[in-house]
A and B are shown apart, each in its own frame.
Chain A
Amino acid sequence: MSTDFPLLKNHPDLVYLDSAATALKPYSVLEAEQNYGTHFGTNAARGLYPLAEQTSEHIETTRTLVAEFLRAHPEEIIFTHGTTDGINILARSLEASLTDTQGEIVVSIDAHHSQILPWQELANRKDWDVRIAPVEPSGSIDAKALLALVNENTKVVALTLVSNVYGVVHDIASLVRAIRIKNADVFIVLDAAQAVAHIPVDVTALGVDALVFSGHKLYGPTGVGICYLTSAWQAKLHPGQFGGGMVVDTSTTPATWKTGPEKFEAGTLPLAQIFGLKKSIEYIQTLGFPHIKNHEQELLTYGIHALLTAFGKKITFLGTTDPEKKIGLLSFTLAGVHPHDIASFLGEKNICVRAGEHCASFLHRELHIPASTRISFGIYTNKSDIDIFVTALKEIYTTLQK
């Protein structure tokens, strides 16, 4: 599989264990981005000449593919510039649409900053309150504690399908049902950035109002993302950003917006990246989620065993080590060795791991650790990558342990 990825050909000694930060891109994705420039090159939805119409058609075909990928309808798929962009668009839209003077927003503590800070800022601007829901030591959502924070005054619940620190897949569908019993009108938004390359995501089964992800964690390009937003909420929400392509009548005040996803797609879309995103989804579909899951479970089992054999009680994994409950991602601390020393030392040996708070400072503060080290797998990761990593980790441990 690694032969599909030119970066690994250009860096044959690279041990890439940072796919949760960004996944490498296969040839097909990179070629599609170039293909936009060399064979289409026009703006979508503006021109009436054939080449522009072809670009538009390609964008709409991709929208349909994304909809199939998420079990949604094409008109519910909004193109964005990434997960962060999608969440900010939603926060701005809700700000413009909800006029309640009192309100509360519930976020889970295992969220990435991109799923906390926009909501915290919205709450500040609205003078609403933010409630942070805990997770269990296993990394699973503490559903009871979260539900206790939801009441009739809750306006938004911001959840994460898979945390970028724990890698645990949450049971969102049951949680959403329980939330709706307590508050039928609440807006539920799900960050699926760490999930979409690893598990099938079905928005209908999940029951959320909005779901966001980025192309680049899905073996696709940076600078493009998806925001699924139900038609009911699209109709209810005022746009949060403004520009070309979203308006039908500017003679009214406010202007009259288009209906459907275009209402939220101000300005030129990241066209080359959307061409690439199409190929990345096709790449995932060709691999198939059963294969992806098997591959990751095998690597997780192998990696956990190798790390426990090497370090025993000196290594502490964050969250469960049950591969069945996780995507291919492991965060840990190693007694007496700072994560930044681990990442730097490994980096000198061409081994890419992540160290720090992983943009999850709320969670790290709760765990009373300044930082952790994370390894994460892609379809190109193999057991020899893990062997090289563990050998180097042993070396830095021997060098730095006190």
Chain B
Amino acid sequence: MNLYQEHILDHYHNPKNWGQLEGVTHQSDVKNPTCGDTLHFELLVREDVVEKIAWTGEGCAISLASASLLSETVAGKTKSELLKRTPEEVLKLLELTLSPGRLKCGILSLEALHTALHNPKH
């Protein structure tokens, strides 16, 4: 399957919600040890609802496009809704079938989101 389709490349070149937030309440730093991809997620959570998300990262096109696509589906959702998100749902956003070797690239964004939700800033 061709991984480098237009929507993937578009999110890779022009990532949505890229950058930093004011008044971050939750954040995470995750790494894919096998290829060195890193993602930094920042959330603004009020009364259990994620109001805003921003992220930065370094890595392959798949992991960055995945973070961009996922970030578009987060605002307005409750923490518990987002914690129920599955890897399959993230892969659906990517519209890709990933080989076992690339799966971690595709779902690193979900790990970043879940880690952030469990990691309130004090």
Residue of B nearest to A395 (CB): B4
B9 within 8 A of A: yes
Between-chain CB contacts (< 8 Å), 24 pairs: A338-B35, A338-B37, A338-B59, A338-B60, A338-B61, A340-B35, A340-B60, A340-B102, A340-B105, A341-B60, A341-B62, A344-B3, A344-B102, A345-B4, A348-B3, A355-B35, A356-B35, A370-B35, A371-B36, A396-B4, A399-B9, A400-B4, A400-B12, A400-B61
Q: Which of A334-375 contact B (CB under 8 A)?
A: 338-341, 344-345, 348, 355-357, 369-371
Instruction: List, in ascending order, chain B residues with CB within 8 A of A399's CB.
Output: 4, 9
Which residues of A are found within 8 Å of B80, using beta-carbon distances? none
- Chain B residues contacting A357 (CB-CB under 8 Å) are 34
Residue of A nearest to B60 (CB): A338
Interface pairs A-B: 7 shortest CB-CB? A370-B36, A338-B60, A340-B60, A341-B60, A340-B35, A341-B61, A371-B35
The contact of A370 among B1, B13, B37, by CB within 8 Å, is B37
Chain A residues near B13: list those with CB within 8 A.
Answer: 402
The interface bits of chain A over 78-97 (1 if a CB of B lies within 8 angstroms of the residue's CB, else 0) are: 00000000000000000000
Interface size on A, residues (CB 8 A): 17
- Bound CA–CA A50/B1 (angstroms): 54
Binding site for B on A (CB under 8 A): 338-341, 344-345, 348, 355-357, 369-371, 396, 399-400, 402
Contact A356 B59 (CB under 8 A): no
Extra pairs beyond A338-B60, A339-B35 (13, CB < 8 Å): A338-B59, A340-B60, A341-B60, A341-B61, A344-B102, A345-B4, A348-B3, A355-B35, A357-B34, A369-B36, A370-B37, A400-B4, A402-B13
For B64, give the chain A residue with the smallest CB separation: A338
Given contacts A341-B61, A341-B62, contact A348 B37 (CB under 8 A): no
- A338 neighbours in B (Cβ, 8 Å): 35, 37, 59-61
**How far apart sit A400 and B4, CA to CA, in the bound complex (Å)?**
9
Number of A-B contacts (CB under 8 A): 42
A344 neighbours in B (Cβ, 8 Å) = 3, 60, 62, 102
- Give Cα A402–Cα B60 distance, bound, in whole angstroms: 12
Give the chain A neighbours of B2 by CB distance below 8 A.
348
Question: A136: shortest Cβ distance to chain B, in Å?
Answer: 24
A345: contacting residue among B3, B35, B36, B59, CB under 8 A: B3
Binary per-residue interface labels of chain B (22-62) against chain A in the complex, 1 for a CB within 8 Å, 0 otherwise = 00000000000011110000000000000000000001111
CA distance A402 to B11 in the complex (A): 12
Residues of chain B from 79 to 116 with CB closer than 8 A to chain A in the complex: 102, 105
A341-B35 Cα distance, complex, nearest whole Å: 10
- Residues in B whose Cβ lies below 8 Å from that of A369: 36
Instruction: Report Cα–Cα, A113/B13, bound state, in Å.
Output: 35
What residues of A have a CB within 8 angstroms of the CB of B4 in the complex?
A: 341, 345, 396, 399-400
Which A residues touch B3, using CB under 8 A? 344-345, 348
Instruction: Find chain A residues with CB under 8 A from B102 CB.
Output: 340, 344
Cα(A283)–Cα(B102), bound, Å: 36
C-alpha gap A370/B33 in the complex (Å): 9
Shortest B96–chain A CB gap in Å is 11
Query: Which residues of chain A come closer than 8 Å to B59, judged between CB atoms?
Result: 338
**Most-contacted residue by chain A among B36, B102, B105 (CB, 10 A):** B36
**Docked pose: A371 CA to B63 CA in angstroms:** 15
Please give me the residue from chain B that is nearest to A365 by CB atom: B36
Q: Which residues of B contact A371 (CB under 8 A)?
A: 35-36
Question: How far apart are the CA atoms of A344 and B96 in the complex, in Å?
Answer: 13
Q: Across the interface, which residues of A come within 8 angstroms of B12, CB to CB? A: 400
Q: Nearest residue in B to A369 (C-beta to C-beta)?
A: B36
A344 to B61, CA, bound (A): 11
A341 and B4 CA atoms in complex are apart in Å by 9
CB distance from A165 to the nearest CB of B (A): 15
Chain B residue at smallest Cβ distance from A396: B4
Give Cα distance in the complex from A339 to B35, angstroms. 8
Cβ-closest chain A residue relative to B36 = A370
